Amino acid sequence: MMATIETAPRLPNAAELKAAWTALADVEEQLLEPTMRSVFEALNYSGEQQITFEQIGRLAAWADDVQAIAGSIVYRAANVKEAAVRDLPSIADEGRNPNAPRFTG
């Protein structure tokens, strides 16, 4: 049997993690906050408004979709944290290059 060279998987670096976090924060700031603000402005507006049940249904469906995506993100983040805290320390080796090829076979 011929030996093969296997390269260890690479974990995201600090810049990649920061970029992912920034993207999530941007979604909240650019998409969620304006929608929340418009809903609360409508609730607090004392003048006459033309709000339809279609608009209300659309907002409720949109919120359901956002909650589903957010729930998936929270679930996956919890899995990453659990693996990082519980499982990765057992294979951590401060002095070894994790990207160095390993021979298997």
* Distance in angstroms (rounded) separating the CA atoms of residues 60 and 81: 31
Per domain, the residue ranges of the chain are: 51-88
**Among the ranges given (19-33, 67-81, 91-105), the one the predictor scored with the smallest mean pLDDT:** 91-105
- Residue 20's CB: how many other CB atoms inside 10 A? 12
Of the candidates 28, 37, 26, 18, the one whose C-alpha atom is nearest the C-alpha of residue 66 is 28
Give per-residue pLDDT as tens, 20-41: 999 999 999 998 999 999 999 9
Between 81 and 92, where is the model more confident? 81
The answer to whether the beta carbons of residues 5 and 99 sit under 8 Å apart is no
Dihedral of CA atoms 55, 57, 62, 68 in degrees, nearest 10, equals 170
